[in-house]
Amino acid sequence: EAGVAQSPRYKIIEKRQSVAFWCNPISGHATLYWYQQILGQGPKLLIQFQNNGVVDDSQLPKDRFSAERLKGVDSTLKIQPAKLEDSAVYLCASSLSSVTYGYTFGSGTRLTVV
């Protein structure tokens, strides 16, 4: 089966600019996750979707981050405006359901804010 697809692979922007990341989960996976991984740390959950509804966004900095999953398939994560501390790898993962704990991760988007 095809894996979790993410784009772009790399992005460099200046602080205060906007950026968007795209994720296409594995076909049939109802649950989609966005994680932020800062260099040297483990991934941190930003938001979880079940189909097109948000299950958990408690760690999403909502003043600058937003995410949507229209039609319950693809998802986009946006940062506006970006700060230097947003430099990280943004990982998308999917699973069959919210009670399926083993996720499949994409390769991520490496964001550098300068």
Partner 1 sequence: GESVGLHLPTLSVQEGDNSIINCAYSNSASDYFIWYKQESGKGPQFIIDIRSNMDKRQGQRVTVLLNKTVKHLSLQIAATQPGDSAVYFCAENTGGFKTIFGAGTRLFVKA
Choice from 5, 13, 26, 56 touching partner 1 (CB under 8 A): 56
DSSP-derived 3-state class of residue 45: strand
Closer to partner 1 by CB, 27 or 58: give it: 58
CB of 16 to partner 1, least distance (A): 25
CB of 71 to partner 1, least distance (A): 21
Residue whose token pair is 């996750």? 33
Indicate whether 98 belongs to the interface with partner 1 (CB under 8 A).
yes
Q: Which two tokens stand for residue 91?
A: 């990982």
Reported as type and span, the H/E element at residue 11 is strand 10-13
- Give the whole-angstrom CA distance, residue 43 versus residue 51: 22
Q: Does residue 98 sit in helix, strand or coil?
A: coil
Residue 2 interacts with partner 1 (CB under 8 A): yes or no: no
Instruction: By CB under 8 A, name the binding residues for partner 1.
Output: 4, 31, 37, 39-45, 48, 55-56, 91, 93, 98-99, 101-108, 110
